[in-house]
Amino acid sequence: MSSSRFLVKGAQSLSSSSRSSMLTRSMATLQSSIGDKQVPMSNLEKGKFVNYARIESNLQVVRQRLNRPLTLAEKIVYGHLDNPHEQDIERGVSYLKLRPDRVACQDATAQMAILQFMSAGLPQTAVPTSVHCDHLIQAQVGGPKDLARAIDINKEVYDFLATACAKYGIGFWKPGSGIIHQIILENYALPGLMMIGTDSHTPNAGGLGMVACGVGGADAVDVMAGIPWELKAPKVIGVYLDGKMSGWTTPKDIILKVAGILTVKGGTGAIIEYHGPGVESLSCTGMATICNMGAEIGATTSLFPYNKRMASYLQATGRSQQAAYAQEFNHNLQPDEGSEYDRRIEINLSELEPHINGPFTPDLATPISKFAEEVKKNNWPEELKVGLIGSCTNSSYEDMSRSAHIAKEAADHGLKAKSIFTITPGSEQVRATIARDGFVDTFENVGGVVLANACGPCIGQWDRQDVKKGEVNSIISSYNRNFTGRNDANPATHAFVASPDLVTAMTFAGSLSFNPLTDSLKGADGKEFKFSDPAGHELPAKGYDPGENTFQAPPEDGASVNVAVSPTSDRLQLLKPFKAWDGKDIVDAPVLIKAKGKCTTDHISAGGPWLKYRGHLENISQNCLIGAINADNGKANEVLNQETGEYGAVPTVGAYYRDRDIPWVVVGDENYGEGSSREHAALEPRFLGGRAVICRSFARIHETNLKKQGMLPLWFKNPADYEKISGSDKLSIVGLNEFKPGQDIKVEITHKNGSKDSFLTTSSINEGQWEWFKAGSALNKMAAAAAARQ
C-alpha cells in the first residue's frame, strides 16, 4: 500500500480490516446505567459532571431519524444537539444548534470575550469556562526572567482577567501555568465531550477523543451565556492509518503529510477523523499533536477514537474515574461499522518518512530524503540559525524525552548545538517533570535555553536578536504555523516545521541539508558518528510532578468581586455597540484594499507586540490589515484614499472614511482569514467602518467572526470576477432589503473613469445570521433579547 494513497470520489466506508479492529460498533445504542453515575468533568470543578446520558439520549433520536451508521465525529456532534427531534441534519448543508460542555480562552482573546460577556449582564457563565495566561509572555533570555518581566508588564491585564474570572465563576490559570492546549489536555479534555475555545489550535483536545473547535470570542460568549452554538454540519474526512511508526517517524509526520495532501484549505468545513489499526501505535499526546495542527488545513476539528493509550494518559493525569467511565461509553466513542466519509485518505505508517514543511506555508510538505535537494534547488538559506522545540503542538513529556535522548547522544560525543536551541515546555507540570528527570540539564548542557511555559516564539512573542529585520535566514521549529514573519516579524525568515526529533538533530549540524537518518556528524574527538533512532517515554515512570500550583479557582459567590477597567487605560477598553444596519443598500463604498494572495489573520491583525492591545479595540485597530499586500501596488500598508487622492496606512484611511460616514469594503483572494481564530481580525475592520469583505473563499472561523460583528462576508460567484476590481473602485451592494438566505447578492462596480460593471456574490448567511447583520452585531442581538426578557 502506498504511504499516501487517497480516495476522493464519493463517500467511502470503513474497510473490513478497520471494522474488525474496532470495538463494539453496534448501531443499536446500548441500554446501560450511564445516566445513573455522577463522574466529575474535571478534578478542579465542583458539581460539574460528565453528561454521557444526554449524548446517549440524543443519539437514540438521531439514529431513528437518519437510519444509517454514524462516524465518530457525527456521534459526538449530534450527541450535543440542542433539539435532536427537530434539527435538520445534512452534512455540509445544515446549520446545527449545539450545546458544548465547556469553553476555554487564552489570555489574548479572553480579554475581548470577557468584555463582551460583561455587556450581557449575566452573573456567571452557563457552562464551565477557563482562562489561560500563555500569550503575553515574550521570550527573551529564559524562563524565570521572562515570566517575571511579563507579570510586571501585563499586571493590569492579568488583574482584570483574575478578578473577572472570580466574579463570573471562571477557572483562572496564572502566567507560568503553561500553554492553554496542554493544560486542557492535562485537566479538562475528555472522550466524547465537546468544547469550544478562543484559539485556533483548540482541536488539540481531539487527542483525547473530544470534539474541540476553535472559535471567535463572540461564539464563546454565546455558549458562556447559555445560548446554543451554531455550526454548519461538518463533512467528515476519514484518515485511515495502517502499519506502525518506527525510527525517526513521529506523529508530527502524519499531520505534515496530511497537510501536504489537503493543503491549507482542504479541510475547511470538515472534521478529520483518524481511524484504523495504525492508531494503536500512537500515544495520546502524539494524537493531540496531529489534531492540533489540523488547524493548518482549515479543519473544523480533528479527533481519534477512544483507546487504551488515552486511558493510560487519563490515569497518569489523575483521572482514572473518567477513564473507566469512558470505557463504559466506548460504544459511542468509536465510529459505527459501515460509516461513510466524504473523503478518505490512507497512510501506511510503516512506510511514512519524516517530513519538513515550509517555508512560508505549513502545507509545502517535503520528505526528509528529498529535503536537502529542495534546499539547493530553491536557494533556501542552508545555514540553520535557530532550532526551536516545544509549543502547544509538541511539548509533551514524550516529545521532550526523545529530544533529550538526541541531545545526550550529541553531548556524549562532545558536541554543543551549532544553532541557537530553545525549548518551550508545554505546562508547569511538564517543566517540573522534565527538570526532575534530568532533561532540562541535558538541554542546557548542550547550549539549549529553556523558555517560559508559554507560547513564546510560536506566536511571535520572541525578542530575537541574532539577525536583523530583513536579513535572509532559516529557522526550524516543532511548532504548527510558519507564515511569513509569524515567529520573529522578519519577512525574510524562512521558517520550516518538523518533528522535535528532526529539529533537535539539525541544531547540532547547523544546516538544513543534514539528514540524521543517513548523515554523520564529527564528534569532539574527530571521529564521525550517526545518531541512533530516537527513544523516549510515553509517560513518566515516576509519574508527573505537578510543580508550582498556578490555578485560581473561582469563589462560590463572586457577586461582590469588583472588575475595574480604567477609562484611561491603553490596554483595556469597554466596548460600545456597533450601529445597527440602516435598512439601505451599501452604495458607492470605496475599496479600502484589494488584498493579493495569502491574507491570514496575522496579515489582518498582527500578533507579536500588538498582543498587548487585545483588550483595547481602538488601539489594536491601528494594526488592521497592515500586513496585507495591496494588489494595486504590491505594497503592504499603503492604500489609496479615494477622497483625498493620497496614499496612506490602511487603518488611517479606514478611519478617515468611518469618520465621514463612508462605508468601505475589503476585497480578498483565496482562503481569506486562514490561521488564528482571533476575532480582532473581524472586530477591527468593523470598528473602522467596514461593512463587507468580498473574497474568492474564506476560512471557516474568520467568516463566522465577520458575521458575528455585523459584516457581510460575500463570495465571488465567479472567482474570476476578483480581477474586475481595483483599489480605486467604488462598490454598491444592492438588493439587501429583498435578500433572503440562499440568494445571490449583486454588486455593482463604479470604476475611477466612471465606467460601470457588476458581478454576483454568494454567501453562507442563514436567517439568524442575517438578523445579526440587521442588529449591527450578534452581541447587539443578544443584548436586545436579554432586555426584552427583562
Candidate list 405, 614, 678, 702, residue with the active-site label: 678
Q: Where are the alpha helices (DSSP H) in 188-307?
A: 217-224, 251-262, 284-292
Q: Reply yes or no on whether 431 is catalytic.
A: no
Q: Reply yes or no on whether 399 is catalytic.
A: no
Candidate list 401, 427, 676, 763, residue with the active-site label: 676
CB 281 within 8 A of CB 315: no
| Closest to 194 (Cα-Cα) out of 320, 82, 39, 307 | 82
Q: Reply yes or no on whether 678 is catalytic.
A: yes
**How far is 487 from 475, CA to CA, in rounded Å?**
10
**How far is 185 from 542, CA to CA, in rounded Å?**
19
**How far is 773 from 95, CA to CA, in rounded Å?**
17
Name the one residue in this structure whose C-alpha cell is 469563589.
Answer: 555
Q: Amino acid identity, residue 640?
A: L
Cell of 666: 475589503
CA dihedral 414, 417, 418, 419 (to 10 degrees): 180
Q: Reply yes or no on whether 363 is catalytic.
A: no
Candidate list 199, 342, 488, 669, residue with the active-site label: 199
**How far is 469 from 491, CA to CA, in rounded Å?**
8
Cell of 266: 482542504
Q: Reply yes or no on whether 199 is catalytic.
A: yes
Cell of 92: 455540509
Pairing of strands 194-197, 102-106: parallel
Candidate list 135, 319, 464, 686, residue with the active-site label: 135
For residue 42, the Cα-to-chain-centroid distance in whole angstroms is 23
**How far is 482 from 766, CA to CA, in rounded Å?**
34
Q: Reply yes or no on whether 134 is catalytic.
A: yes
Candidate list 42, 102, 107, 134, residue with the active-site label: 134
Which residues, listed in sequence order, are joined to residue 586 by a DSSP beta bridge?
733
**How far is 475 from 466, CA to CA, in rounded Å?**
12
**How far is 646 from 677, CA to CA, in rounded Å?**
33
Cell of 249: 517517524
How far, in Å, are 99, 124, 610, 715 from residue 680 at the CA level? Answer: 25, 24, 11, 21
Candidate list 181, 481, 486, 702, residue with the active-site label: 481
Instruction: Tally Cβ neighbours within 10 Å of residue 333.
Output: 25
Which residues, listed in sequence order, are joined to residue 32 by a DSSP beta bridge?
none
Q: Cα-atom radius of gyration of the chain, to the nearest Å?
A: 25
Please give the span between the terminal C-alpha atoms of the chain, in angstroms, as a whole number.
64
The per-residue DSSP string of 526-581 comes to S-EE-PPPP---SS-TT-----S--EEPPPS--TT------TT-SSB----PPPPP
For residue 122, the Cα-to-chain-centroid distance in whole angstroms is 28
For residue 573, the Cα-to-chain-centroid distance in whole angstroms is 25
What residues act catalytically?
134-135, 199, 481, 676, 678
